[in-house]
Structure 1
């Protein structure tokens, strides 16, 4: 398995606080069968700013420590880039880390509270530049939860999505779990990632998520999700499948 979204780089955001914890998280990842991870510290979210050059240096040092401790785990520098009106300027200034060496995929975070009005235009500008925005954890976004068609329109426009393994397993509640299942069923999901932060609620859970995916949707869906994670990391074409709108639940109308 390849993890394209996690917060195990030590001391840079709300994830791992120190190198000791990060090395333990790397050990757990290896035991769970995760061979490589894109490290994605928060960037431009109003609280954290992790500049490209700083992240690259931190990841190189972390990889050295991983190797010195005999852990079979490869890490790559990335960012979880928060959407802002300044994003295109940041890209032009060279301070944005993409998910791949060819600058094809951008791990893009929207506010949990909703979808900004300018999101559609921003996605259009990114896609016009040959950049595929990978919308991270859309299942936990209140805007998508309220308006499923919004997510469909963004994927139809050319965006990809990264679902969180923990969401699929019910860690964030039954409603989020159900919405994640609906996203997968409609082929609006592209791949899984852990969004791991620590050893408590925000853990890896990748293996369990893929086991559930196999039971619910079959081995072909598992193969697609695993392939897409690798494709995003390598800058290759992804396989999205035939997307469909998520069917809205029919509301029961009482007799009176």
Structure 2
């Protein structure tokens, strides 16, 4: 598995506070089958020019030294699109050595001009990976379809698929329509993982979807290739999922 979105770089944001927290999580992830993990600390687009890349690179190198053998760590950011029109072309802002940017909107809802900003960033030659659209008030399946048509990669938080409430319902609706490209843990020094979502999908007959969602499309993103379309859930599987969650 490949995890594109984590907050395990210690002590830099609201994620893991220390190496003592991060390292056991990395060990657990490696045991579960994660081979590549991207540390994506929070960064506001308006402060991108001041991103503490050198310091974060030092922390990543130390974390890699303490990580289990066979687990490859990469550096990236989760960029809050707080101010439109910013320069996001610096190579230090991308996921690993790719041209992909992991971006997010505020929880308060989609801002006016949000779609235009995503389109603008793609025109800069960046692959936009939009983090957890299931969170954003005002997000619709039609909007997700529009974003994907001009190249936005949709990343959903794995744990949300197994939850309850509006974000989880919307995430499962996206899954049913084949609108999710990548799952990620968004681990903040806690118990969230890709492994549970992988098991959840396999238990419900999602063999076609699970490899693309937890490995194949993340690998495409990191190698600047177009993600492979994820098949929609079959009607039988969708019905079982909706019955499980009382829908």
What TM-score bracket applies, with the shorter chain setting the length?
0.7 to 0.9
State the Cα distance separating 1:132 from its structure 2 match: 1.7
Q: Contact 1:107–1:134 (CA<8 Å) still a contact in 2?
A: yes
Greater shift, 76-85 or 40-49, is seen at 40-49
State the Cα distance separating 1:65 from its structure 2 match: 2.4
Q: Does 1:26 align with 2:21?
A: no
Distance 1:57 1:17 in 2: 16
Structure label with greater radius of gyration: 1
Partner of 2:187: 196
Partner of 2:136: 141
Corresponding pairs, count = 230
Distance 2:108 2:229 in 1: 26
Q: Contact 2:217–2:227 (CA<8 Å) still a contact in 1?
A: yes
Scaled by the length of structure 1, the TM-score of the pair is 0.81
Partner of 1:229: 218
State the Cα distance separating 1:23 from its structure 2 match: 0.9
Residue pairs, 1:41-56, within 5 angstroms: 41-44=41-44, 50-56=51-57
Partner of 1:253: none
Q: Contact 1:100–1:232 (CA<8 Å) still a contact in 2?
A: no
> Cα RMSD (Å) of the superposition?
2.4
Aligned counterpart for 1:218 among listed residues 168, 189, 206:
206
Partner of 1:246: none
Partner of 1:84: 82
State the Cα distance separating 1:194 from its structure 2 match: 0.2
User: Counterpart of 1:240 in 2: which secondary structure?
Assistant: coil
Q: Contact 1:2–1:229 (CA<8 Å) still a contact in 2?
A: yes
Per-residue CA deviation, residues 39-97 of structure 1 (Å, 9 max, x unaligned), is: 0000117999752332222211211222xxx54421100000111335632x24x3752
User: Counterpart of 1:38 in 2: which secondary structure?
Assistant: strand
Per-residue CA deviation, residues 180-216 of structure 1 (Å, 9 max, x unaligned), is: 11101112100100000123xxx23311211222344
Give structure 2 stretches of 5+ with no counterpart. Answer: 233-247
User: Counterpart of 2:86 in 1: which secondary structure?
Assistant: helix
User: Counterpart of 2:93 in 1: which secondary structure?
Assistant: coil
Scaled by the length of structure 2, the TM-score of the pair is 0.84
Aligned counterpart for 1:157 among listed residues 150, 153, 171:
150
User: Counterpart of 1:88 in 2: which secondary structure?
Assistant: coil
Give structure 1 stretches of 5+ with no counterpart. Answer: 244-256
Distance 2:24 2:47 in 1: 26
- From the superposition, tell whether residues 73 and 88 of structure 1 become closer, same or farther in structure 2 (CA, over 3 Å): same
Partner of 2:240: none
